[in-house]
Amino acid sequence: MSRRPAPQVAAVAAEPLTLGARQRRPLTLRRVGSAAVPYLLVAPVVIAIAAVLGYPLYKLVTLSFQRYGLPELIQRKGEWVGLDNFRSVLGDEVFWDTLVRTIVFTAVNVALTMVLGLLLALLLVRLSTPVRVLLTTGLVLAWSMPVVVAVQVWIWMTNFQNGILNYTLTTLGVGDYFQHDWYATTFSKLAMVTLLIVWGALPFVVLSLYAGLSQVPRELLEAASIDGASSWRVFRDVTYPVLKPILYILTSLSIIWDFGVFTQAYLLIGASQVNVDNYLMGVYVFIEGYGHSDFGRGAAISVLWLLIVALLSVFYVRKMVRMEETA
Amino acid sequence: MSTASLERPGGARRRRRRVLKRRAWDLLGIALFVVLVFPVYWMVTTAFKPDDEINSAEPTWFSLSPTLQHFRDAIARPYFWDIVQNSLIVVLVAVGASMVLAFLAAVALAKYRFTGQKVFVVLMLGILMLPTVGLVIPLYVVLARFHLTNALTGVIITYMTFTLPFAVYMLRGFILGVPKELEESAMVDGSSRLGAFVRILLPLVAPGLVATSLFAFITAWNEYVFASVLLTDQSNHTITVWLSYFYGTSRNTDWGGLMAASTLTAIPVVVFFLIVQRRIAFGLTSGAVKG
């Protein structure tokens, strides 16, 4: 093989190798080699993901068709039971109750996050610079808190004995919350989880929306207010159209995340307190599959759950890919 | 605001009203700042408060007699240094390996066109959306087969893989941000593609590489689900698992110790996050906002 001058090699490699070009030029060993470069570069990632993510995912699906408990784990061989696991799960009231509870929980969390997030972002625009910097810094600080740490702080703040929440509510005259137990009912348990999740999710939403608001043309806002348009009309006709794509993305991300929530619910409610009355899907999958060592049935629940999440993700992924193509 | 009030003459009054309005917004902004930051503040102050102030019915908003005792207690707990070491080993090895692999793939995505490219990007984004709990069971079963449960290796492999998609996606963005002309001019000057790559691209992408690594560090350091399932022995725990077991019963909890331990866990994350937040945290919405 003859040595080509370097610039020419570079040109071949730099040009995108389209199908048409490949047919027109003679197929040399070097050209085949350079066409293989991107695949070689991607290969390690693909192999790692296939081994550590793909294979378990495949395993999950096969497990869901097997009886697989501790004895089978030791023997490393499950017994094929067909659709038994799925039949058992879908015939279980707990599954449907949990699904409905998770959907309601997700709806409430996403709605709160998005509405409060939008209001906060709109507020940020109206603040004087020092206060805006202060609030933005506070948001970033709250955002940076690790979930497991935030859970511990929540446990302490909502503690029935000396928790600051009970003290504050009582002192402000909201009611008598002396030694009030926030973890007494399912509703209040999930309300505390909601509070924690919304607090943790707000910074990302607010700062993303605030970045989006900076795209709204200033002249348009001024013109609208000089024309005497109401704040609501300015928002609806000028601000909202600009924010729409980012709102769409943030809402779909929030839905995916809140539907898949585990750590906050599991740790805040407490391992000893989670049960069929307060399961969210993530906790349900974890307890039924891992906690009860009934891996086959747990896998069936996982498969159903992941399918729903995958379905929800389609909207997000499609939008991201489309935006990239137009960008 | 009605139209009439805007058109009425008397600019001074209008201006005063606008100033008042801004003051009101500012006040609301400060109130919200207090509410949002309060949990962080309460964690740190509790960690420094003496026990009698923590356990009194009347809260101490700002302690005048701070103590380091709770931090000493937290560090003196069994396995503390083992756990810090575990977390550091797991996170550093996983992130290091992940960055090398992710960078190679990111170069391929940014600098080449190849069949299956779009599928690859969609796959990365899709994986990013999978809730990890759903994969705990099969991963446990698979790793148990290779005797990698209750060993840091299993967690390292897992973290490496789960930080890949975001890292690939982010790094691709950083590489795409490097002007093509720079590289091309280097190649015209006679450097090989690899030479141009090392001399031009790498230094320009370095800040992005650092930012992505720090973000991966945060993700891995914060991870709880896999670590809690895969690492059973107490001496093998990572810091988040350690922290989750810190809290005993609801009565007679050592709140000061718990908050000190929480503060210690949060410190590296908060510091790194403040550094990289601006560069990277909006990766998942990039494209929707052109900044």
Alpha-carbon distance of B115 to A253, in angstroms, equals: 28
Q: Given this model, what pLDDT does residue A327 score? A: 62
Instruction: For residue range B92-128, list pLDDT tens digits in order.
Output: 999 999 999 999 999 999 888 888 888 998 888 888 8
Q: How confident is the model at residue B10 (pLDDT cuts 50, 70, 90)?
A: low
3-state DSSP helix/strand/coil % of chain A, to nearest 5: 75, 0, 25
Distance (Å) from the alpha carbon of B21 to chain A's nearest alpha carbon = 9
Distance (Å) from the alpha carbon of A306 to chain B's nearest alpha carbon = 7
Give A80's strand partners.
Answer: A66
Q: Given this model, what pLDDT does residue B3 score? A: 45
Alpha-carbon distance of B32 to B247, in angstroms, equals: 29
Mutant choice from B111, B132, B285 vs A, greatest count of A C-beta within 10 A? B285
Alpha-carbon distance of A138 to B70, in angstroms, equals: 26
Assign 3-class secondary structure to A224-254. HHHCCCCHHHHHHHHHHHHHHHHHHHHHHHH
Looking at beta carbons, which residues of chain A come within 8 Å of B94?
Answer: none
B289 by DSSP, 3-state: which?
strand
Residues with Cβ within 8 Å of A305's Cβ and at least 6 positions away in sequence, in order, are: A281, A282, A285, B131, B134
Work out the mean pLDDT of chain B and round it to a whole number. Answer: 85
Closest-approach residue (CA) in chain B for A125: B25
Q: How confident is the model at residue B283 (pLDDT cuts 50, 70, 90)?
A: low
- Chains A, B: CB pairs < 8 Å: 322
B192/A6 Cβ within 8 A: yes
A67 by DSSP, 3-state: which?
strand
A258-290 burial, b at 16+ Cβ within 10 Å, e below that, comes to bbbbbbbbbbbbeeeebeeebbbbbbbbbbbbb
Single out the residue of B252, B253, B90, B257 nearest to residue B163, CA to CA: B90
Instruction: For residue range B242-261, list pLDDT tens digits in order.
Output: 999 887 655 567 889 999 99
In this model, does residue B192 exceed pLDDT 60?
A: yes
The interface pTM score, or ipTM, of the predicted complex is 0.87
Q: Given this model, what pLDDT does residue A216 score? A: 86
Of B25, B117, B251, the CB nearest to A123: B25
Phi, psi (rounded to 5 degrees) for B231:
-110, 105
Percent of residues, chain B, with pLDDT higher than 90: 41
Q: Given this model, what pLDDT does residue B176 score? A: 87
CATH fold label, B78-285 = MetI-like fold (1.10.3720)
Q: Given this model, what pLDDT does residue B2 score? A: 44
Closest-approach residue (CA) in chain B for A116: B32
Of A144, A208, A256, the CB nearest to B129: A256
pLDDT in tens, chain A (327 residues): 333 333 333 333 444 444 444 445 566 666 677 788 889 999 999 999 999 999 999 989 998 999 888 888 777 778 888 899 999 999 999 999 999 999 999 999 999 999 999 999 999 999 999 999 999 999 999 999 999 999 999 999 998 888 899 999 998 988 888 888 888 899 999 999 999 999 999 999 999 999 889 888 888 888 887 888 888 888 888 889 989 989 998 999 999 999 999 999 999 998 888 888 999 999 999 998 777 778 889 899 999 999 999 999 988 888 888 887 776
B131/A262 Cβ within 8 A: yes
Tokens of A290: 């891992």
In this model, does residue B4 exceed pLDDT 60?
A: no
Q: Where are the domains of chain B?
A: 3-67, 78-285
Of B139, B243, B291, the CB nearest to A152: B243
- ∠ at Cα A84 (A79, A88), nearest 5°? 130
Considering Cα of B274, then A263, then A89, then A68, what sign does the dihedral take?
positive
Residues with Cβ within 8 Å of A75's Cβ and at least 6 positions away in sequence, in order, are: none
CATH class, range A87-326: mainly alpha
Closest-approach residue (CA) in chain B for A308: B130
B6/A141 Cβ within 8 A: no
A17/B192 Cβ within 8 A: no
Instruction: For residue range B202-237, list pLDDT tens digits in order.
Output: 888 888 899 899 989 999 999 999 999 899 888 889
A56/B142 Cβ within 8 A: yes
Strands A66-67 and A79-80: antiparallel
Q: Where are the domains of chain A?
A: 6-63, 87-326
Phi, psi (rounded to 5 degrees) for A243:
-80, -15
Q: How confident is the model at residue B191 (pLDDT cuts 50, 70, 90)?
A: low
A9/B43 Cβ within 8 A: no
Of A126, A167, A249, the CB nearest to B25: A126
Instruction: For residue range B165-181, list pLDDT tens digits in order.
Output: 999 988 998 888 887 77
Of B131, B142, B229, the CB nearest to A260: B131
Of B125, B144, B285, the CB nearest to A250: B285
Looking at beta carbons, which residues of chain A come within 8 Å of B221?
Answer: 146
B190 by DSSP, 3-state: which?
coil
Total-model pTM: 0.86
DSSP A127: S
